Structure 1
Amino acid sequence: MESLKNRLNRFMVGRYGIDQLYYAGLFLALGLMMINMMVNSTILMILSNGLIVLIVLRGFSRNISRRRMENEKFSKVWNTIKKEGRIFFRRIKGIRTHRYRKCLHCKKTLKLPIKRGKHMVQCPECKAFFVVRVIV
């Protein structure tokens, strides 16, 4: 068993391996497979199997700089999506206590307590005053 482990380690030397894009592709392929189990589509089967082959070949690639650049581009997009999702769920969680409005001048999002009616608000970023109307 130890010799198999050593052979596998020698095989992977100089290859790219697993990263965040690998895991995202794997979960996407598994999701496509789950959907395919319900709808039984040949196209989904080909897509999911092709994606798995592509992911594995990417992991065995020796072009490390190119794979790293791909992962950086993916991470940039994924982190913005993750950040927006976090903000969205935080807003949903605090919907009973706060409202979110954008400053008309600097476009910064302000977290305001719920006070019904029209109110003058000062933006902490640009110090501009503007009217906020809260209905509910």
Structure 2
Amino acid sequence: MKDKFMRFMYGRYGVDSFSKFLVIAGIILLALSGFFEYGWILYLLSLVLLAYSYFRIFSKNHSRRYAENQTWLKYTSRFRRAFGNLRYRVRHMKSYHIYKCPSCSQKIRIPRGKGRIEIRCPKCGTKFIKNS
């Protein structure tokens, strides 16, 4: 079965960031359609999104799908970067403090539990004192 699916997908575009978004948005709209009086509109919109996402996944026009994905990535880069920074800070929150250099605003990661320490910025060389 896996071999048949691999042969079927050969030459097709496949899953990318934009198609993942379309599938997730379609499923969310499908789930929300049951809670509203005019839910059939959300239901139809979800079906359109899901159909378009599968059209993109099974498409053989690589250049067109790649251009669509690049446009999507360009417009969402600010949000993805902010979310990635937030994930990084939350992941390292237990072990590290993250301070900004007062002169150049470079972010510096300092281990927790070292007491009051002098920090030297690796970018500009400015020294400042912070609690660890």
TM-score range, shorter chain: 0.5 to 0.7
Choose which of 22, 26, 30 in structure 2 pairs with 1:25: 22
Choose which of 47, 52, 64 in structure 1 pairs with 2:62: 64
Deviation at 1:28, TM superposition (A): 1.9
Aligned partner letter, 1:101: Y
Gaps of 5+ in 2: none
Choose which of 30, 36, 56 in structure 1 pairs with 2:33: 36
Q: State the identity as a percent.
A: 23
Matches within 5 A, 1:1-136: 9=8, 16-20=12-16, 21-39=18-36, 41-75=39-73, 77=76, 81=80, 84-114=82-112, 120-132=118-130, 134=131
The whole-number CA distance in structure 2 between the counterparts of 1:78 and 1:63 is 24
Q: Do 1:101 and 1:112's aligned partners in 2 also have CA atoms closer than 8 Å?
A: yes
Alignment: residue pair count: 124
TM-score (norm 1): 0.61
Is the alpha carbon distance of 1:84 and 1:118 closer, same or farther for their aligned partners in structure 2, counting shifts above 3 Å? same
Aligned partner letter, 1:91: R
Q: Do 2:96 and 2:110's aligned partners in 1 also have CA atoms closer than 8 Å?
A: yes
The whole-number CA distance in structure 2 between the counterparts of 1:107 and 1:32 is 41
TM-score (norm 2): 0.63
Task: Give RMSD over aligned pairs.
Answer: 3.8
Deviation at 1:42, TM superposition (A): 3.2
